[in-house]
């Protein structure tokens, strides 16, 4: 009888332990996780910017609260259980300087800030808290810097008057901005330049080096573009045209041919031959 009692007791203990384990596991299943935080690193005064925070609520249940902070001060709050109107989600009783939320278009994933100024710069934090009973929390932070100087058109230097076929082109593109460093990108004839052609000399200057192959010349010119950009919304560009010397001479020949000027004929022969000789030499090297 006593043995039986003992066995029953151990069984109940085992059941309790099992129940506790299940609780632990399901407790973990109501966790939350921020999967993606998108805060632009740089923006210009007057911009409208989007701060995005994607999260997963494990087990598909609801969450308790979703909040945004700037430098640890809360400015946006969404609590599904409290049936707020979109306007109530903007925390207005204690406004945060430089933070002007467009309450009507902001959602529990994306917050829109209007008319930003340099005071909008700071560290932005997204916080998601899971449901009762665990209230598990996840946070992610990212820094935004707002500049006042408009993006300037870049300057391309190093261009020659003309290029022969297979000659190397060396160009530099420099940012004219003093407050910040924009991103650079190069296009050749409207297509992105091969990354192996691009060098970064310093944060203000990007270089482009490539060989002026015959097929790159279109009607005797290669069109090169340097673009600077800041975030998704600001960009400016400088375009240059690299002229083929032989193409120019050929044009000259056609023009002069009407007058039967013989020296030009010699010129065109050399202009047709030379590139082939270069090509031959190049293939041997
Ligand atoms: C490009 O800039 C770099 C660094 O400032 C310099 O060393 C190089 O000579 C420049 N190249 C041209 C083609 O101007």
Percent of the chain scoring above 70 in pLDDT: 76
Q: What is the distance in A from the centroid of ligand 1 to the CA of 229? A: 21
Ligand 1 lined by 201 (C-beta under 6 Å): yes
- CA-CA distance, 7 to 14, in Å (whole number)? 10
pLDDT in the model for residue 216: 96
In this structure, the number of other CB atoms found within 10 A of the CB of residue 112 comes to 16
Residue of higher predicted confidence among 105 and 91: 105
More confident residue, 63 or 157: 157
Residues 70/94, Cβ–Cβ less than 8 Å: no
Neighbouring residues of 103: CB distance < 8 A, sequence distance ≥ 6:
86, 87, 89, 90
**CA nearest neighbour of 118 among 44, 52, 50, 48:** 44
Question: Do the Cβ atoms of 23 and 30 come closer than 8 Å?
Answer: no
pLDDT of residue 143: 97
Looking from the CA of residue 201, the nearest atom of ligand 1 is: 4
Instruction: Give me the pLDDT at residue 272, please.
Output: 52
Least confident of 2-6, 109-113, 134-138, 229-233: 2-6
Kindly give the distance from the C-alpha atom of residue 205 to the centroid of ligand 1, in angstroms, as a whole number: 8
DSSP secondary structure letter of residue 154: P
Q: How far is CA 267 from the centre of its chain?
A: 50
Helix (H) or strand (E) holding 235: strand 234-243
Residue 120 to residue 123: CA distance in whole angstroms = 9
Q: Does the beta carbon of 185 lie inside 6 Å of ligand 1?
A: no
Structure confidence at residue 92 as a pLDDT band (50, 70, 90): confident
Give helix 262-284 / helix 245-257 axis angle, nearest 10°: 160
Q: Is the dihedral of CA 84, 87, 92, 97 positive or negative?
A: positive
Beta bridge partner(s), residue 283: none
Nearest to 171 by CA among 219, 224, 222: 224
Residue 132's pLDDT band, with cuts at 50, 70 and 90, is confident
Q: What is the pLDDT of residue 91?
A: 74
DSSP summary character for residue 186: E
Of 282, 161, 181, whose CA–CA distance to 228 is shortest? Answer: 181
CB of residue 170 inside a 6 A radius of ligand 1:
yes
| Residue of minimum CA distance from atom 10 in ligand 1 | 172
Q: Whose CA is nearest to atom 5 of ligand 1?
A: 201
Query: In this structure, which residue's CA is closest to atom 3 in ligand 1?
Result: 201
Is 160 close to ligand 1, i.e. is its CB under 6 Å away? no
Higher pLDDT, 256 or 22: 256
User: How far apart, in whole angstroms, are the C-alpha atoms of residue 6 and residue 17?
Assistant: 16
Confidence of residue 18 (pLDDT cuts 50, 70, 90): very low
Query: Among candidates 281, 273, 271, 264, which has minimal Cα distance to 245?
Result: 271
Residue 164 scores a pLDDT above 70: yes
Nearest alpha-carbon partner for 165 in 268, 246, 225, 284: 246
Instruction: Look over the chain and give the mean of its residue pLDDT values, rounded to a whole number.
Output: 82
Confidence of residue 275 (pLDDT cuts 50, 70, 90): low
Does residue 203 or residue 27 have the better pLDDT?
203
For the Cβ of 172 lying below 6 angstroms from any atom of ligand 1, the answer is yes
SS3 277: helix
Distance in Å, CA 172 to ligand 1 centroid: 6
Instruction: Give nearest CA residue, ligand 1 atom 7.
Output: 201
User: Which of residues 151 and 16 earns the better pLDDT score?
Assistant: 151
Split at pLDDT 50, 70, 90, the class of 284 is low
Q: Whose CA is nearest to atom 12 of ligand 1?
A: 158
Dist CA 140 CA 156 (whole Å): 40
3-class secondary-structure state, position 175 = coil
Q: Determine the pLDDT at residue 52.
A: 97
Q: Is the distance from the beta carbon of residue 209 to the nearest atom of ligand 1 less than 6 Å?
A: no
Please report the pLDDT score of residue 27 as a whole number: 43
Answer yes or no: is the C-beta of 157 below 6 A from any ligand 1 atom. yes
């Amino acid at each position: 009888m006593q043995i039986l009692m003992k066995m029953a007791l151990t069984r109940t203990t085992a059941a309790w332990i099992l129940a506790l384990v299940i609780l632990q596991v399901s407790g973990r299943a109501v966790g939350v996780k921020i999967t993606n935080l998108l805060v632009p690193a740089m923006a210009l005064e007057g911009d409208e910017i989007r701060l995005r925070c994607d999260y997963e609520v494990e087990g598909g249940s609801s969450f308790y609260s979703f909040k945004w902070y700037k430098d640890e001060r809360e400015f946006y709050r969404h609590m599904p259980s409290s049936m707020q109107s979109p306007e109530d989600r903007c925390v207005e009783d204690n406004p945060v300087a430089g933070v002007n939320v467009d309450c009507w278009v902001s959602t529990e994933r994306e917050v829109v800030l209007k008319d930003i100024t340099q005071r909008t710069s700071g560290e932005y934090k997204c916080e998601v808290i899971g449901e009762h009973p665990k209230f598990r929390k996840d946070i992610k932070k990212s820094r935004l810097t707002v500049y006042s100087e408009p993006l300037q058109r870049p300057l391309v230097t190093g261009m020659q008057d003309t290029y022969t076929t297979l000659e190397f082109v060396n160009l530099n593109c420099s940012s004219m901005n003093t407050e910040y460093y924009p991103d650079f990108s190069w296009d050749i004839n409207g297509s992105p330049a091969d990354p192996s052609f691009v060098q970064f000399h310093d944060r203000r200057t990007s270089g482009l080096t490539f060989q002026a192959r015959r097929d790159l010349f279109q009607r005797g010119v290669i069109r090169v573009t340097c673009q600077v950009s800041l975030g998704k919304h600001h960009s400016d560009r400088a375009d240059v045209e690299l002229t083929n010397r032989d193409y120019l001479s050929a044009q000259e020949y056609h023009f002069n041919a009407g007058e039967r000027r013989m020296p030009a004929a010699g010129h065109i022969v050399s202009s047709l031959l030379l590139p082939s000789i270069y090509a031959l030499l190049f293939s041997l090297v």
